[in-house]
Amino acid sequence: MKKTEDAADPILHEAQRRFEAAEVYEEGGESASVGFEDNRLKEITAHQFRGVGLRVIHKGRIGFASTTDLRDPSRLVEMAAASAEFGDRAQFQLPSQPPQLAEIQTYDKRIERVTAKQMVDMGREGLEMSKAADAGYLYSCGVWRSTHTQRIQNSRGLDAARSSTSMGASVSVQEVSDSGLLQVYEFKDWGRRLDSVTDLARTVLDKMKQAAAVVPGRLEAMPMVFTPKAASILFGPVGIALNGKHVHKGSSVLRGRIGEQVLDERITVTDDPAVPFAPGTCATDDEGTPTRKQHFFDKGVLKTFLTDLQTAALLKTEPSGHGFRGYGSRPSPSSTNVIIEPGDVSYDDMVRGMKRGLIIDQTLGSGQSNVLAGEFSVNVELGFVVEDGRIVGRVKDCMVAGNVYEVLKHVEAIGSEAQWLGSRCVPPIMVGGLKLAAKG
């Protein structure tokens, strides 16, 4: 270990000597996870990694190379030089050390001390709940914890190191019958220590009960509620269109529309890099640009795009602080924590208010459509039919399709309870005008 501890220094030193500009991005981490499958503790795994990415500007051109093999730093420098021979013209300058950065919270020391035994016990607690609910259920669960460090150094004197922790869990329960197979899952991931999976297990088991009856689907238009879990169907394509690279190339439907009312005026979408312990929290992006809270959509009006240094220069704007990467790739525009502002209708009232409708919770096949245009067409993996304000069962073998910009232009209601899923915080959203496709 001691040999690789300061792996970045000789790399930066040599690269600085040879090129106009150089940047070393060093990343490492340790994680552990326990896995239950089909009612049995199956495996415990440990993961250690460390890698380095080197970006250079040579004769005005960008070069990049990466490795996890730190025995020979000059090989990495050679690879970056070979890359720079062909690379695009650098339109940007690497940033120097930023002034005082905002205080942010990303590290919970308690996570370092979580033992595999404690994670096993957490998983077991969920298993007991599943067995108590129905001995025929098959329970699977993963619990993980990780620590992550990164350091960016460049030839303009920037040296920014940061570390973060995360801990998360997923619970899924399956029931197999002659007529088919039902599977419900929930997950969470956060920067602070997780003490239990019981709330995930409870949600999953409640949904298993609600899904017990199968209601035949038919071809019909009806109001639909997307739960936070399913809302990525609607917001995923919008995230792609906000990417400055697509804007620059003209393949984003949002190009040239800053200031325009694109979504329903009740929809406000904020990128907030300072939420304590959220998965996307950081003081600078992975190029050293300070991050800041900003609106993507303010009351439905498009405000900004996501850019890294090069993309911002191509678009002739200031970098938005969204250049993110792993050691093995160049920076690319990506969001921090995306928060969709909750509305004023409780989820229960939303359901109670439906004469006949569908709650979509899990889908299959997202991303297999024309996402650039905002199209989606998904199988409703877990969808509850509501009649007269009550859930009567689930549908099977049905599809729902539409365009996210049409759907989000006029929503019926936005729920008051937002939920964090990964780095996105989303409320339930009720929309009209979509058609369920089913046999018969």
Of 367-406, which residues contact other proteins (CB under 8 A)?
A: 367-370, 372-373, 375, 377-379, 381, 396-402, 405
Neighbours of 35 (CB within 10 A): 19
Report 172-191 residues binding other proteins (CB under 8 A).
174, 176-178, 180-183
- The answer to whether residue 259 forms part of the interface with other proteins (CB under 8 A) is no
123 vs 343 by CB, closer to other proteins: 123
Taking the C-alpha atoms of residue 292 and residue 320, their distance in angstroms, rounded to an integer, is 8
CB of 21 to other proteins, least distance (A): 16
98 vs 365 by CB, closer to other proteins: 365
Candidates 117, 131, 355, 410: give the one binding other proteins (CB under 8 A).
117
* Residue reference for tokens 């996105």: 424
Candidates 16, 18, 20, 41: give the one binding other proteins (CB under 8 A).
41
CB of 289 to other proteins, least distance (A): 19
Query: Taking contact as CB under 8 A, which single stretch among the options 270-278, 299-307, 322-330, 336-344 is the one that binds other proteins?
Result: 322-330
* DSSP code per residue over 181-241: EEEEEEEEEESS----SHHHHHHHHHHHHHTSSB----SEEEEEEE-TTTTHHHHHHHHHH
Taking the C-alpha atoms of residue 269 and residue 182, their distance in angstroms, rounded to an integer, is 34
- The answer to whether residue 110 forms part of the interface with other proteins (CB under 8 A) is no
- The answer to whether residue 103 forms part of the interface with other proteins (CB under 8 A) is no
- The answer to whether residue 408 forms part of the interface with other proteins (CB under 8 A) is no
- The answer to whether residue 134 forms part of the interface with other proteins (CB under 8 A) is no
| Closest among 320, 336, 323, 239 to 282, alpha carbons compared | 336
Candidates 10, 236, 328, 342: give the one binding other proteins (CB under 8 A).
328
- The answer to whether residue 136 forms part of the interface with other proteins (CB under 8 A) is yes
- The answer to whether residue 212 forms part of the interface with other proteins (CB under 8 A) is no
Report 269-308 residues binding other proteins (CB under 8 A).
none
Taking the C-alpha atoms of residue 356 and residue 222, their distance in angstroms, rounded to an integer, is 7
193 vs 394 by CB, closer to other proteins: 394
What are the φ/ψ torsions at residue 96 (nearest 5 degrees)? -90, 180
310 vs 419 by CB, closer to other proteins: 310
Task: Find out whether 371 and 236 touch, Cβ atoms under 8 Å.
Answer: yes
What are the φ/ψ torsions at residue 90 (nearest 5 degrees)? -75, 120
Q: Residue 231: left (phi > 0), alpha (psi -120 to 50), or beta? A: alpha
Task: Find out whether 278 and 337 touch, Cβ atoms under 8 Å.
Answer: yes
Candidates 12, 21, 65, 152: give the one binding other proteins (CB under 8 A).
65
- The answer to whether residue 131 forms part of the interface with other proteins (CB under 8 A) is no
CB of 170 to other proteins, least distance (A): 10
Candidates 88, 159, 199, 318: give the one binding other proteins (CB under 8 A).
88
Candidates 6, 9, 17, 44: give the one binding other proteins (CB under 8 A).
44
Task: Find out whether 64 and 86 touch, Cβ atoms under 8 Å.
Answer: no
Taking the C-alpha atoms of residue 355 and residue 351, their distance in angstroms, rounded to an integer, is 9
* DSSP code per residue over 113-155: G--HHHHHHHHHHHHHHHHHH-TT-EEEEEEEEEEEEEEEEET
Candidates 93, 364, 392, 410: give the one binding other proteins (CB under 8 A).
364
297 vs 347 by CB, closer to other proteins: 297
Rg (Cα) of the chain, in Å, rounded? Answer: 24
- The answer to whether residue 105 forms part of the interface with other proteins (CB under 8 A) is no
- The answer to whether residue 68 forms part of the interface with other proteins (CB under 8 A) is yes
Name 71's bridge partners: none
272 vs 423 by CB, closer to other proteins: 423
- The answer to whether residue 38 forms part of the interface with other proteins (CB under 8 A) is yes
CB of 79 to other proteins, least distance (A): 5
